[in-house]
Amino acid sequence: MGANIYKNKKPLIVFLFPAFLFMLVYLFYPFFMNILNSFQHIKNLGQSTGRWNDPWYTNYVELIHDPVVLTSLKNTLIMMVVTIVGQVGIALILALLVDNIKAGAKFFRVVYFFPIVISATALGLMFNLIFLYDKGMLNQILESLGKTSLTDWKGEGLALVTMMLPVMWQYVGFYFVIIITGLNNISEELYESASIDGATRFQRVRYVSLPLLHNVICTCVVLAVTGALKVFDLPWTMFPKGMPMKTTFLTGTYMYYQTMEAKNVDYGSTLAIMLVVLGIVTSKIVNVIFKEKDY
Partner 1 sequence: MKKRVLALVLASAMVFSLAACGSKDTGSEQPAEQTTQEAAPVEETEAAAPEEAAEPAGPVELNVTTTFAGEDGNAQNFKSAVEAWCAETGNTVADTSATSDETFKTRVITDFETGSEPDVLFFFNGADANSFIEAGKVVSIDDIRAEYPDYASNMNDDLIVDSLVDGKKYAVPVNGFWEAMFVNTEVLDAAGVSMPGADYTWDMFMADCQKIKDAGYAPIACALGNIPHYWWEFAIFNHTSPATHLNVPDSVDSEQGQAWVAGMEDIKALYEAGYFPDNTLSATDDETFAMFMDGKAAFLIDGSWKVGGIVSACQTDAEDASTLDAEKLAKFDVTYVPGQGDRKATDLIGGLSMGYYITTKAWEDPDKRAAAVSFVSYMTSDEVVPVFAQHTASALKNAPAVDESVFNPLQIKAMAMMSGATSLTGAVQDIFQGDCRVSTFDGMPEIVTGRVSAVDAVAEGLEAYQDAQ
Indicate the residue among 74 and 263 with the shorter CB distance to partner 1. 263
Q: Is the dihedral of CA 97, 102, 103, 105 positive or negative?
A: positive
Q: Cis ω on the peptide bond leading into residue 55 (within 30° of 0)?
A: yes
Residues in contact with partner 1, shown as a per-residue x/- string from 249 to 268 under the rule CB under 8 A: -----------xxxxx----
Q: Is 30 in the site for partner 1 (CB under 8 A)?
A: no
Q: Is 280 in the site for partner 1 (CB under 8 A)?
A: no
Which part of the chain contacts partner 1 (CB under 8 A), choosing from 97-105, 133-141, 188-196, 214-222?
A: 133-141
Shortest CA distance to 150 belongs to which of 162, 165, 138, 164?
A: 138
CB of 88 to partner 1, least distance (A): 30
Which part of the chain contacts partner 1 (CB under 8 A), choosing from 8-16, 69-77, 93-101, 228-236?
A: 8-16
The Cα-based distances of 72 to 65, 150, 160, 168 in angstroms read 13, 28, 11, 18
Indicate the residue among 13 and 117 with the shorter CB distance to partner 1. 13
Query: Which residues, numbered 154-183, are part of the site for partner 1 (CB under 8 A)?
Result: 154-156, 159
Among 108, 177, 199, 240, binds partner 1 (CB under 8 A): 240
Indicate the residue among 57 and 114 with the shorter CB distance to partner 1. 57
Neighbours of 162 (CB within 10 A): 21
SS3 239: coil
Beta bridge partners of 51: 41
Q: Is 110 in the site for partner 1 (CB under 8 A)?
A: no
SS3 52: strand
Q: Is 3 in the site for partner 1 (CB under 8 A)?
A: no
How many residues bind partner 1 (CB under 8 A)? The answer is: 36
Among 2, 7, 46, 197, binds partner 1 (CB under 8 A): 46
Distance between start and end Cα atoms, the chain = 40
CB of 170 to partner 1, least distance (A): 21
Q: Is 142 in the site for partner 1 (CB under 8 A)?
A: no
Total residues found in the chain within this entry: 295
Separation CA 16–CA 11 (nearest Å): 9
The string of DSSP codes covering 177-233 is HHHHHHHHTS-HHHHHHHHHTT--HHHHIIIIIHHHTHHHHHHHHHHHHHHHHH--H
Residue type at 225?
Answer: V
CB of 162 to partner 1, least distance (A): 9
Q: Is 133 in the site for partner 1 (CB under 8 A)?
A: yes
Enumerate binding residues for partner 1 (CB under 8 A): 1, 5, 11, 14-15, 17-18, 21-22, 43-48, 132-135, 150, 152, 154-156, 159, 240-241, 243-246, 260-264
